[in-house]
């Protein structure tokens, strides 16, 4: 009797045994089973499990049979499941087992290629029909989850024995608590990771999936600080209810320390269940303990504590004696958070305590209404804002705390009075001088803007540029101004010119201010501040080396001055990080921005500077390909900018542009276009069509259109940007070189090799002269130029160019993360030159690196599969080529709806022509080539040479089929 059909009889016998005395059961069962030893053994197994675990197990007895009777996991290690080889067991849960597995294709093992995945397997021999359906349903749900902080579903299928399986991204990381402790992360950094977790859980909730087992071991953090949420299919999701209304909760579904009261009681599991678990996680990350002291000490059971105990305040938990191995005392806990016990208590007291207490409420409706609301409270704490649910008095108190400087002015005056007569006399002299300077600046600005008065303007509309030019000329004529007054006015005008992107004018004024201030030691701080701003102007002009030197000097002066403000230091670190990003030195950028982030919540840091710091932090993360972290930082910047923002707010637009950058890096091109388009509308209204920031948004939209295959639209936008950049910034500006690279990409794919070569050669020249041959921009331009040379048949030249880049990228000081593009491009040149062995070695390395850095579902991974497939084809490995070309299409489909794109069309055409060789696959070949021709016609036009070639291939395939 099959296992599924046998289950009703097993259940009937099991329940009948409950009415018998234990001594009577064996004889009765033997009679009822009538020689069916398998049936007898299954009921006995179930009764034995009940004796150990109690009646609660009886509810899912069929699953227990499979669990108890399944083969040992070790016996499965080394077996092949589809295209995967099981390496070792990672974990078990319910009916599912999770193995580390290699995806191996023909010919790969000898060359050491491997793609590591986590493979979840259900034992088909011992799973009833309902469980199998639930498993497949969960696999379908997982396919809908696409988030940078959720382990990504890769593949699925059925093993030879009928067992369903699926594979997910294998995450190499540590549990979030251990990762934070090992790096002595402070409270702010820990909360940043929690926000990543909240974003992942909220995404799942939007897809009607509740995790139900959030705990540190299910949240791994990778070496680059990316949190990854697991067990949306590994071990626990198999046990999810088959319907959204199912309220059953079984003991094996929960980890008691993180289970919500409704889970303990078997009540309805909702999104509030995950809110509770995040509350426990927050408590443990912040205080290093669990919320229930008596349960942690073993005085009561966890279910009782969760249902009836009041969570101990985190500040009090720090004094709790450690009972868990490695927990440590209060001093140890504080040290693991990079602080002291007293400082940690001060941090946890107040709003953080309230946030955690609300999340841990016994009643679901008393918790935060959603994970997003919990995350909003965490962000509010990070921003120094009032959290949700507070009283009016509380919000007033928060306002006073955030604006303590002006509200405390009276106390500061009293401090001056009691400082002594000598100090007062000195201060009076300084105050008089500062007052004269301040009044001079105010009078100057008033005179500057009297031009807006119709009588002074003589009926004309006066532009900001005209006002500034008039003011700068007036400063030069005014001989009554003291040097300090002139310097401050010059610095102010320079700052305004910079905001209007009139960088040359800003530079001249800032240089004048710096010269005047250098002669007055009493204005050393203003001099350092002006030089920091001048460094940012130089960076905007493309003189990045000089900008780095000047910013470094300003930082040294601020750090040496005991009276330098926190805001001055933070801004200097931010500017230095900006210069590092411009130089593509992202490790340096992260080093400086981390210094700024350590002080970003200081009350002396206003929202304007805090916004700039978060945007620079996002840029540094983006440069290091920590795209999820970059997105989170940009969203934080957007939240800061949106606070009290009016219509057409530039800071909101800047944040939207930055967010688009992170979305683009995650292959979310349509979302990137949406973010950039919102920003562009503001830029056009406020800054005008030709402002560099406006042009940057247009270029970003052009790039996203290119990635989506809209080449004509992309080229039109990019050519327009380049034309304005050349006129406004000059023919040797790095911004123009960056746009040249983009134009080179799109014109190469359009087949206009002459325009591509001209644009890319110009980019190589600009970047090379500015930064040298090994600079990231130079290498990017040269690599794309090599593609053009390859397509033109200049294989020896392309080989030399790509080899030069590969050798440069081997230098660890460059911290090159995109080296896989060079590897697969050089591999393709080697293929065309007949060096298949070298080509295969390079392309397998490229594929492994691409998967590791950007995942399976990304443009670069799809191209790596494609290039490897072509080399396998040309070297005679037809089966391997087919697998790689199919993998390329799967990668395209992972980020492009329907895998519709000119590059995907090429992969379809290559696969179709390969399958055409086999008469048994000719029907599929015709279908693939037909689709390729249709896509090329859609994206490139009917007369494009690539479209014509696809139609010719289709005619050939159709002829072979008819023949």
Active site residue 478: no
Q: Which stretch of DSSP H or E encloses residue 116?
A: strand 115-122
Instruction: Give the dihedral of Cα atoms 927, 929, 930, 931; nearest 10 deg.
Output: 90
Q: Per-residue b/e over 144-161, b at no fewer than 16 CB within 10 Å?
A: ebbbbbbbbbbbbeebee
Q: State the SS3 of 776-801.
A: HHHHHHHHHHHHHHHHCCCHHHHHHH
What would you report as the CA-atom Rg of the chain, rounded to the nearest whole angstrom?
Answer: 33
Pairwise CA distance, residues 467 & 490, whole Å:
14
Q: Which long-range contacts (CB under 8 A, 24 or more apart) does 935-944 make?
A: 935/900, 935/901, 935/902, 935/904, 935/905, 935/908, 936/902, 936/905, 938/900, 939/709, 939/710, 939/711, 939/901, 939/902, 939/905, 940/711, 940/750, 940/902, 944/750, 944/751
For the chain, the farthest-separated pair of C-alpha atoms sits apart, in whole angstroms, at 117
CA angle 680, 752, 692 (to 5 degrees): 25
Chain center to CA of 377: 21
Q: Is 187 helix (H, G, I), strand (E, B) or coil?
A: helix
| Residue from 637, 644, 598, 646 nearest 619 by CA | 637
Pairwise CA distance, residues 538 & 583, whole Å:
13
Could you say which of 155, 213, 351, 740 is catalytic? Answer: 213
| Residue from 66, 31, 29, 74 nearest 49 by CA | 66
Reading the block at residue 848, the tokens are: 């492994």
The 8-class DSSP code of residue 898 comes to G
Pairwise CA distance, residues 674 & 676, whole Å:
6
Q: Is 169 helix (H, G, I), strand (E, B) or coil?
A: strand
2 contact partners, CB below 8 Å, separation of at least 6: none
Report the 10 Å Cβ neighbour count for 58: 17
The pair phi, psi for residue 497, each rounded to 5°, is -60, -40
Report the 10 Å Cβ neighbour count for 427: 12
How far apart, in Å, are the Cα atoms of 726 and each of 717, 734, 768?
Answer: 15, 11, 18
The 8-class DSSP code of residue 233 comes to S
Instruction: Give the dihedral of Cα atoms 806, 812, 816, 818; nearest 10 deg.
Output: 60
Instruction: Give the dihedral of Cα atoms 179, 181, 187, 188; nearest 10 deg.
Output: -30
Please state whether beta strands 164-169 and 115-122 pair in parallel, antiparallel, or not at all (unpaired): antiparallel
The pair phi, psi for residue 168, each rounded to 5°, is -130, 165
Pairwise CA distance, residues 458 & 460, whole Å:
6
Query: 120 a known binding residue?
Result: yes
Chain center to CA of 26: 60
The 8-class DSSP code of residue 208 comes to T
Q: Edge-to-edge strand order for the sheet containing 84-93?
A: 80-81, 84-93, 96-103, 115-122, 164-169, 153-158
Pairwise CA distance, residues 669 & 226, whole Å:
21
Reading the block at residue 196, the tokens are: 């990543």
How far apart, in Å, are the Cα atoms of 234 and each of 24, 117, 266, 781?
Answer: 41, 12, 22, 43
Q: Among all residues, which ones are annotated catalytic?
A: 213
Q: Annotated binding residues for ATP, as ranges? A: 120
């Amino acid at each position: 009797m099959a296992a599924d059909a046998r289950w009703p009889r097993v259940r009937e016998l099991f329940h009948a045994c409950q009415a018998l005395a234990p001594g009577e059961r064996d004889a009765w069962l033997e009679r009822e089973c009538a020689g069916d030893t398998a049936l007898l053994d299954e009921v006995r197994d179930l009764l034995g499990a009940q004796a150990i675990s109690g009646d609660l197990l009886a509810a899912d007895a069929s699953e227990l049979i499979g669990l108890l009777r399944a083969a040992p996991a070790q016996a499965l290690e080394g077996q092949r499941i589809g295209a995967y080889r099981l390496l070792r067991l990672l974990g078990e849960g319910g009916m599912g087992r999770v193995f580390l597995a290699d995806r191996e294709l023909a010919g790969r093992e000898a060359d050491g290629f491997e793609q590591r995945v986590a493979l979840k397997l259900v034992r088909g021999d011992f799973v009833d029909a309902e469980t199998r359906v639930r498993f497949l349903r969960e696999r379908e749900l997982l396919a809908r989850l696409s988030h940078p902080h959720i382990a990504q579903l890769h593949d699925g299928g059925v093993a030879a024995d009928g067992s369903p399986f699926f594979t997910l991204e294998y995450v190499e990381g540590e549990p979030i608590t251990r990762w934070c402790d090992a790096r002595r992360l402070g409270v702010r950094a820990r909360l940043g990771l929690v926000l990543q977790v909240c974003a992942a859980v909220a995404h799942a909730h939007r897809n009607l999936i509740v995790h139900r087992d959030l705990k540190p071991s299910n949240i791994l953090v990778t070496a680059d600080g990316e949190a990854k949420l697991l067990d949306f299919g590994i071990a626990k999701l198999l046990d999810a209810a088959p319907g959204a209304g199912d309220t059953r909760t079984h003991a094996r579904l929960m980890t008691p320390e993180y289970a919500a009261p409704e889970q303990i009681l078997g009540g309805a599991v909702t999104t509030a269940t995950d809110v509770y678990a995040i509350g426990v996680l927050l408590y443990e990350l912040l205080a290093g303990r669990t919320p229930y002291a008596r349960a942690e000490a073993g005085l009561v059971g966890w279910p009782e504590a969760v249902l009836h105990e009041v969570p101990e305040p985190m500040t009090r938990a720090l004094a709790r004696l450690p009972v868990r191995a490695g927990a440590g005392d209060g001093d140890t806990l504080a040290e693991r958070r990079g602080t002291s016990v007293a400082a940690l208590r001060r941090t946890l007291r107040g709003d953080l305590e309230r946030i955690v207490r609300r999340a841990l409420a016994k009643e679901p409706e008393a918790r935060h209404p959603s994970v997003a609301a919990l995350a909003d409270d965490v962000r509010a704490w990070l921003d120094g804002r009032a959290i949700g649910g507070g009283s009016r008095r509380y919000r007033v108190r928060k306002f006073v705390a955030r604006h303590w400087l002006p509200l405390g002015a009276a106390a500061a005056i009293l401090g001056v009075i009691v400082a002594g007569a000598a100090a007062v006399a000195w201060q009076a002299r300084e105050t008089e001088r500062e007052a004269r300077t301040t009044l001079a600046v105010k009078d100057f600005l008033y005179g500057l803007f009297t031009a807006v008065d119709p009588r002074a303007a003589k009926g004309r509309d006066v532009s900001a540029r005209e006002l500034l030019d008039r003011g700068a000329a007036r400063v030069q004529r005014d001989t009554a101004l003291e040097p300090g007054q002139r310097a401050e006015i010059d610095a102010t005008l320079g700052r305004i010119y910079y905001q209007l992107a009139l960088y040359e004018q800003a530079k001249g004024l800032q240089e004048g201010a710096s010269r005047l201030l250098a002669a007055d030691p009493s204005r050393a701080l203003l001099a350092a501040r002006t030089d920091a701003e001048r460094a940012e102007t130089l960076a905007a002009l493309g003189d990045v080396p000089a900008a780095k030197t000047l910013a470094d000097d300003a930082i040294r002066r601020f750090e040496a001055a005991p009276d330098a403000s926190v805001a001055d230091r933070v801004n200097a670190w931010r500017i230095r990080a900006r210069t590092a990003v411009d130089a593509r030195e992202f490790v340096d950028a992260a080093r400086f921005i981390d210094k700024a982030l350590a002080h970003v919540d200081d009350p002396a840091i206003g929202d304007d500077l805090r916004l700039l710091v978060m945007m620079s932090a996002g840029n540094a993360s983006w440069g290091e390909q920590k795209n999820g972290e970059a997105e989170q930082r940009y969203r934080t910047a957007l939240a800061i900018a949106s606070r009290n923002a009016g219509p057409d707010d530039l800071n909101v637009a800047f944040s939207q542009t930055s967010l688009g950058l992170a979305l683009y890096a995650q292959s979310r091109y349509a979302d990137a276009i949406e973010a950039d388009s919102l920003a562009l509308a503001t830029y056009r209204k406020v800054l005008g069509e030709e402002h560099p920031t406006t042009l940057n948004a247009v270029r970003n939209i052009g790039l996203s259109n290119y990635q989506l295959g809209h080449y004509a639209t992309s080229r039109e936008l990019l050519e327009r940007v380049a034309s304005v950049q050349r006129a406004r910034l000059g023919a040797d500006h790095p911004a123009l070189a960056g746009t040249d690279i983009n134009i080179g990409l799109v014109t190469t794919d359009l087949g206009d090799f002459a325009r591509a070569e001209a644009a890319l050669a110009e980019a190589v020249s600009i970047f090379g002269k500015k930064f040298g041959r090994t600079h990231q921009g130079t290498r990017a331009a040269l690599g794309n130029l090599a593609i053009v040379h390859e397509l033109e048949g200049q294989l020896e030249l392309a080989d030399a160019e790509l080899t030069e880049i590969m050798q440069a990228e081997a230098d660890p000081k460059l911290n090159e993360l995109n080296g896989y593009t060079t590897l697969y491009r050089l591999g393709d040149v080697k293929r065309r030159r007949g060096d298949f062995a070298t080509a295969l070695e390079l392309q397998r390395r490229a594929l492994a690196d691409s998967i590791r850095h950007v995942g399976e579902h990304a443009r670069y991974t799809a191209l790596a599969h494609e290039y490897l497939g072509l080399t396998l084809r040309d070297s005679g490995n037809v089966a391997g080529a087919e697998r790689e070309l199919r993998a390329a299409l799967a990668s395209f489909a992972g980020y492009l709806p329907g895998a519709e794109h000119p590059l995907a069309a090429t992969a379809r055409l290559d696969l179709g022509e390969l399958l055409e060789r086999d008469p048994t696959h000719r029907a599929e070949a015709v279908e693939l080539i037909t689709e390729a021709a249709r896509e090329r016609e859609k994206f490139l036009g009917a007369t494009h040479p690539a479209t014509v070639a696809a139609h010719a291939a289709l005619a050939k395939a159709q002829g072979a089929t008819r023949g």
